[in-house]
Amino acid sequence: MDILRTVSEMQSYADAVHATGKTVGLVPTMGALHGGHLSLMDLALNHADRVVASIFVNPTQFGPGEDFEEYPRDLEGDADKLRERGVDVVFAPAADEMYPHNDHPTRPAPLAWVEVEEFDNVLCGKYREGHFRGVTTVVTKLFNACKPDVAVFGQKDAQQLAILKRMVDELLFDVEIVSAPIIREPDGLAMSSRNAYLNERHREQATVLYDAIQEAESAIRGGEQDANRVVRAMRDALDNAPDARVQYADVVNAGTLTSVETLDRGEDVLAAVAVYFGDTRLIDNVHVRVPAVSSTDAVSADSERAGSAGA
């Protein structure tokens, strides 16, 4: 497994793969790899002939006061895990490779930006100003540097996934986006590099995020169509953790991320939460299709359908 440090080496590698008629899969990461990341690598290995894992702690997606400096970095440990998993190349560029024309070593202020408007006014985007603009900009750079045919992103960052899908669609990137399911610890906590920040007490309480999204899922599958009641069920579950400070609990359309008041039959929705334990911010979500016919109103729905067929 090679570790490439420059954009030009990376582009040459991708060109060489394509010249042999083979495909490149990309898994963008910020390192500090856990089981969730490794499941993305497996998915990429299934979808592409050669797999590139990028490791870059992207400064422009951290706001002032966020954990850019503290974010865990362990390139050697990460490389061991990736080698063992069968990844072909690690792309680990320095900041000035990804942000040329910038003098500041850790806080570049680029002039060229890629953004997806409106998708960043909700959920995490509401509280992390500029975060998703940093993400779409760096992913564009990674696409141009690694030239992937397929890129894999985790469903855990559901808003990021929706925004990147929209970016790829609108900007006509010839990249297939594959989404990977959330991987959880045995007690249900979604794997995250930030779980390492939690003390024991907070770690125990952190399972309420999974409880909350399970409550949302079962309410929606059970026929609940009032989004406010789904939100209340999530908040009740989160309230069981005395140290939790809820940033948001929300239900939105999974494709457009627009707010949902009434859950329409057959609509794909996202129930999502963000919660602080101390300074550590955790997120979780579930993607659910609102059932076409709920268990409680099967009869009336049937008669409605019969009615419209006869009209």
Which residues have a Cβ under 8 Å from the Cβ of 270 and sit 6 or more positions away?
158, 162, 251, 252, 253, 254, 257, 285, 286, 287, 288
Asked if 23 is part of the footprint of its own copies (rule: CB under 8 A), the reply reads no
Sequence-distant (6+) residues with CB within 8 A of 63 are 128, 129, 130, 131
Nearer to its own copies, 57 or 282 (CB): 57
Fill in the per-residue mask, 153 to 192: x = in contact with its own copies (CB under 8 A), - = not in contact: -------------xx-xxxxxx------------------
Q: How many residues in the chain?
A: 311
Tell me how far apart the alpha carbons of residues 204 and 14 are, in angstroms, rounded to a whole number: 44
The active-site residue out of 18, 34, 37, 131 is 37
* Interaction of residue 7 with its own copies, rule CB under 8 A: yes
* 16 lies in the binding site for its own copies (CB under 8 A): no
Residue 192 CB, nearest approach to its own copies (Å) = 27
Neighbours of 20 (CB within 10 A): 8
d(CA 243, CA 223): 32
5 or 201: whose CB is closer to its own copies?
5
Binder among 69, 76, 103, 117 for its own copies (CB under 8 A): 117
Judged by CB under 8 A, does residue 118 bind its own copies? Answer: yes
- Kindly state the number of chain residues that form the binding site for its own copies, as judged by CB under 8 A: 35
Does 202 help bind its own copies (rule: CB under 8 A)?
no
| Coil, helix or strand at residue 24 | strand
d(CA 82, CA 26): 13
Bridging pattern class, strands 2-4 and 150-154: unpaired
Strands 24-29 and 50-55: parallel
Binder among 24, 82, 116, 238 for its own copies (CB under 8 A): 116
Task: Say whether 37 is catalytic.
Answer: yes
Q: Which residues bind its own copies (CB under 8 A)?
A: 7, 11, 15, 18-19, 21, 98-101, 110-119, 136-137, 140-141, 144-145, 147, 166-167, 169-174
Catalytic site residues? 37
